[in-house]
Amino acid sequence: MKKIRLTFTVPEDIFQRFATVVPSRTRSAIVSTLLEEEAKRREMTLAAACDAANADAGLAELEADFQALENTVSEPFDHRGW
C-alpha cells in the first residue's frame, strides 16, 4: 500500500503525552489506526443519517412530488412569452 507523509498540528501537551507513552517506531501505525477508526465512525454516522432520511415518509412524499414535476415538464422554459 502506498504511504504518504502528512503534517499535523496538535496541541503541545497532547503530543508530549503521546510521545511519552508511544514509542517513536510505532507512532505512525497508531495514528493510522486512529484515523481509520474515526473515518469508519463518521462513515457509519453518515450512513445512519441517510437511512433515517430514506425512512422518513414525509421526505419520500416530497421526493415523489419532485419526481412528478420532472415527468410533466415537456419543454424548456421560454421567458420570451412574457
Whole-number Å distance between alpha carbons of 71 and 67: 7
Q: In the structure grid, which three cell numbers stand for residue 17, read together? A: 503525552
Question: Can you tell me which residue has the cell 445512519?
Answer: 48
Q: What is the pTM of this model?
A: 0.63
Structural domain for 53, as ranges: 25-72
Q: How far apart are CA 31 and CA 36, in angstroms?
A: 9
Closest to 18 measured CA to CA, from 35, 9, 5, 30? 30
Tell me the average pLDDT across 33-53.
95
50 domain-assigned: yes
Q: Is 54 part of a structural domain of the chain? A: yes
Residue 82 lies in a domain: no
How do residues 44-59 score in pLDDT, each as one tens digit? 999 999 898 888 888 7
Domain count, the chain: 1
pLDDT at 74 (0 to 100): 64
